[in-house]
Amino acid sequence: MNKALTELQHDYHEVVGATMHIHLTKHTCLEVISFEGEAERVRSLATMLQSQKGVLSLKVVTAPSL
């Protein structure tokens, strides 16, 4: 995994719940990161992740709190 992505997840440890890393091809991976927490903090992390070199696409899916 990209070192910058790992560091960001540690910087946002209070909202990152889990990460799953899937190898799609020899040079392409899918990273699934679950977030939960304050909306502004989650938006900030999503923005930071999208700006990282090598991130081809980012999709944020939201669900209501229970």
pLDDT number for residue 66: 76
Residue 33 burial (C-beta neighbours within 10 Å; 0-12, 13-18, 19+): buried
Residue 18 burial (C-beta neighbours within 10 Å; 0-12, 13-18, 19+): exposed
Are 60 and 36 in contact, with CB atoms under 8 Å apart?
Answer: no
pLDDT number for residue 1: 55
pLDDT number for residue 11: 96
pLDDT number for residue 55: 93
pLDDT under 70: residue ranges of the chain = 1
pLDDT number for residue 24: 96
Question: What domains sit in the chain, N to C, each tagged with a CATH number?
Answer: 3-50 (3.30.70.1150)
